[in-house]
Chain A
Amino acid sequence: MIKVRIPTPLRPMTGGKSEVEIAGNTVSEIIDNLGSAHPGIKERVYDEKGEVRRFINIYVNEEDIRFLTGKDTPLKDGDEVSIIPAIAGGS
């Protein structure tokens, strides 16, 4: 199982949990399975074309998947996936 960190804005879909355990061998499988377990979440991570939304970074451990092999990045037991929205703010 892979530990997946859920950002604050998506926690309503995980019943308030900040971490969930999901099975999967790649990042893509994790997001699919996360979407099955917690409906609505996959649509918030991917855009209409199935790409990671422009304000979201996905990390495997401490590395952004853009610098690994993207959604195909392989995972092994003990890896941690973090879904993290880039910094925002306002006035």
Chain B
Amino acid sequence: MLAIPSSIIKNMIAHARELAPHECCGILSGTEHTIAEAYRITNILAALSEQDLTRFDGAKLTDLQRLSPEERADIAFQMDAREMAMAQRDIRSKSLDLLGFYHSHTFSPARPSQTDITIAMEFESYRAKLHLPEPFHLIVSVEHSDQPSIRAYRIRESKPTEVPIHTLP
């Protein structure tokens, strides 16, 4: 179970709609199983060079290389590292934890893609050394923009497990 204030759910959905067809992304702070705050982070994918794209894996990389820079942000996101570091710093100053990451899917359901799983495992490989708690991975689907859906997952050993969201008033 993950508890999220309704204002934050609305904020994530609004973020996804504002950026569609591009994917949006952000990070979430809180304690244990309750989200306290969402930070919008810029998706810098369209600004990445061809060489930068190689941080993605095989199939996704091939797809990205086929598209124009603008179109790339429709199928993937890359968080701005500086903004992410600033948000992490703010989270620490409030004595909260980095509890999760969110991003949108603009053409598909709210389920982790292979790329999402691969990068979640990459994060897992260094997370403990930075003393960060295991994150929740949230996906907002605005595939049907009048019926947005939002789902949360834990991703362990490359296997996503859905975590029910409890909306707080």
Q: Using a CB–CB distance below 8 Å, which chain A residues touch chain B?
A: 5, 7-9, 18, 43-44, 47, 52-57, 59, 62, 64, 66-67, 80, 82, 84-91
Interface of A is mostly: mixed
Neighbouring B residues of A55 by C-beta, 8 Å: 44, 48, 52, 55, 78-81
Q: Give the contact-size bracket for chain B.
A: 35 or more
A47 to chain B, nearest CB (A): 8
Cross-chain contact A89 with B131 (CB below 8 angstroms): no
State the CA gap A18–B112 with chains docked (Å).
26
Q: How far is the CA of A14 from the CA of B47 in the complex (A)?
A: 27
> Min CB distance, A56 to chain B, in Å?
6
Decide if B89 touches A88 in the complex (CB within 8 Å): no
Q: A44-B51, A55-B52, A91-B76 are in contact. Are A85 and B81 (CB under 8 A)?
A: yes
Question: B63's closest neighbor in chain A, by CB?
Answer: A90
Which of A7, A52, A88 makes the CB contact (< 8 A) with B79?
A88
Residues in chain A near residue B112, CB distance under 8 A: 89
User: Which of A57, A85, A91 contacts B106 (CB under 8 A)?
Assistant: A91
1/0 per residue, CB under 8 A from A, across B35-58: the answer is: 000000000110111011011100
Nearest to B137 among chain A residues (CB) is: A89
A-B contact pairs, 30 of them (CB 8 A): A7-B122, A7-B126, A18-B125, A44-B54, A47-B49, A54-B48, A54-B82, A55-B55, A55-B78, A55-B79, A55-B80, A55-B81, A64-B88, A67-B85, A84-B126, A85-B81, A86-B80, A87-B27, A87-B84, A87-B119, A88-B119, A89-B76, A89-B113, A89-B120, A90-B60, A90-B77, A90-B116, A91-B108, A91-B113, A91-B115
Contact A90 B113 (CB under 8 A): yes
> Is the pair B23, A91 in contact by a Cβ cutoff of 8 Å?
yes
Question: Which residues of B have CB within 8 Å of A47?
Answer: 49
CA distance A44 to B47 in the complex (A): 15
CB distance from A36 to the nearest CB of B (A): 20
Kindly report which residue of chain B lies nearest to residue A83, judged by CB atoms.
B126
CA distance A16 to B140 in the complex (A): 35
Q: Which one of B56, B85, B105 contacts A88 once the chains associate, using CB atoms below 8 Å?
A: B56
* Cα distance, A83 to B78, chains bound together (Å): 16
In the complex, what residues of A have CB within 8 A of residue B116's CB?
89-90
Q: Which of B48, B78, B106, B115 has the most CB of A within 10 A?
A: B78
